[in-house]
Amino acid sequence: MDVLKRNNVTISGKGKQPMLFAHGYGCDQNMWRLITPAFENDYQIILFDHVGFGKSDITAYNQTRYNSLKGYAEDVLEICQELDLTNVIFVGHSVSSMIGVLAAIKEPTLFDKLVLVGPSPRYINDGNYEGGFSSEDIDGLLESLDSNYLGWSSAMAPVIMGNPNRPELGEELTNSFCRTNPEIAKDFARVTFLSDNRADLSKLKTKSLILQCSEDVIAPMSVGEYMHQHLPDSEMMVLEATGHCPNLSAPEETIQAIKKFLQNQTLFMSKVEEVS
């Protein structure tokens, strides 16, 4: 199967270094529309849809392949290989943050930096680890999703968005959820909310930025701090933005945080080159 068609890959931008943007649960590449224009002059912008979402080829969906985040990470690597990408800056939102981490662990030479927006290695509390949800919470969430997906979407999307004074944002996320095939959405929800990638964090060698919203019910501050403590070469920026989707609710702040991270790295490398 054509990898680029499978994942509805689109390419733009005037630069040479690739920035690969990966959307979160229930979304598609359109969720980056307020972010990518700021990088188009300096980077090659690559967008895609996870299989089963957006305009991806739904016939490519395979429950066996996508029964863990590793299947989605394989898709990321296949896109990179098909386009012959190197030195990739990967920008992942929510669950796609961990998909990017897994991809970079498997093929570290492909990636230059990772930008992780609202990441979480595990959503369920475990001993001293505070993931934000109890097992009962997640069981109830998945049961509600199974019994009434559209109702669940209408109730959960505004909570995830977390900006009640801007209802149009919650409405956009609701509509995105509702456009998704319910059966695939249910599968991906289980894979997302039941995953535990804490043991993988120490394996990442790629430099990463954790973008943590000041208030986020899906990935609370305790999770961002855990990520920062356990990712070997990471920086963490706490945004004033609230909710789980700063790419939509606070695009300018998100853009500036990413640019600061990328520019600092470039300046550091320049100084090293001057010394050498």
The pLDDT of residue 178 is: 74
Where in the sequence is the domain holding 85, given as residue range(s)? Answer: 3-121+196-275
Whether 133 maps to a domain, the answer reads: no
Helices assigned H by DSSP within the chain: 3-6, 69-82, 95-106, 135-147, 149-161, 167-179, 182-193, 221-230, 246-249, 251-275
216, 228, 234, 249: the catalytic one is 216
Residue 80 or residue 166, greater confidence: 80
Whether 218 maps to a domain, the answer reads: yes
Q: What is the pTM of this model?
A: 0.92
pLDDT band at 174 (very low <50, low <70, confident <90, very high): confident
211 neighbors 120 (Cβ within 8 angstroms): no
Residue 216 known to be catalytic: yes
Question: Considering only 14-18, 70-74, 181-185, 250-254, which range has the smallest mean pLDDT?
Answer: 181-185
**Model confidence at 93: pLDDT above 90:** yes
Whether 170 maps to a domain, the answer reads: no
Domain CATH code at residue 21: 3.40.50.1820
SS3 label, residue 240: strand
Whether 89 maps to a domain, the answer reads: yes
Residue 57 known to be catalytic: no
Whether 206 maps to a domain, the answer reads: yes
Burial 47-56 (b: 16+ CB within 10 A, else e): bbbbbbbbeb
pLDDT band at 265 (very low <50, low <70, confident <90, very high): low
Whether 140 maps to a domain, the answer reads: no
23, 50, 93, 244: the catalytic one is 244
216 neighbors 242 (Cβ within 8 angstroms): yes
Distance from C-alpha of 228 to C-alpha of 216, rounded to nearest angstrom: 16
Average pLDDT value over all residues in the chain: 92
The pLDDT of residue 271 is: 30
Instruction: Give the number of domains in the chain.
Output: 1
Whether 145 maps to a domain, the answer reads: no
21 neighbors 91 (Cβ within 8 angstroms): yes
94, 120, 153, 195: the catalytic one is 94
Whether 172 maps to a domain, the answer reads: no
Residue 94 known to be catalytic: yes
The pLDDT of residue 269 is: 35
Tell me: the pLDDT tens digits for 192-209? 999 999 999 999 999 999
The pLDDT of residue 160 is: 86
215 neighbors 244 (Cβ within 8 angstroms): no
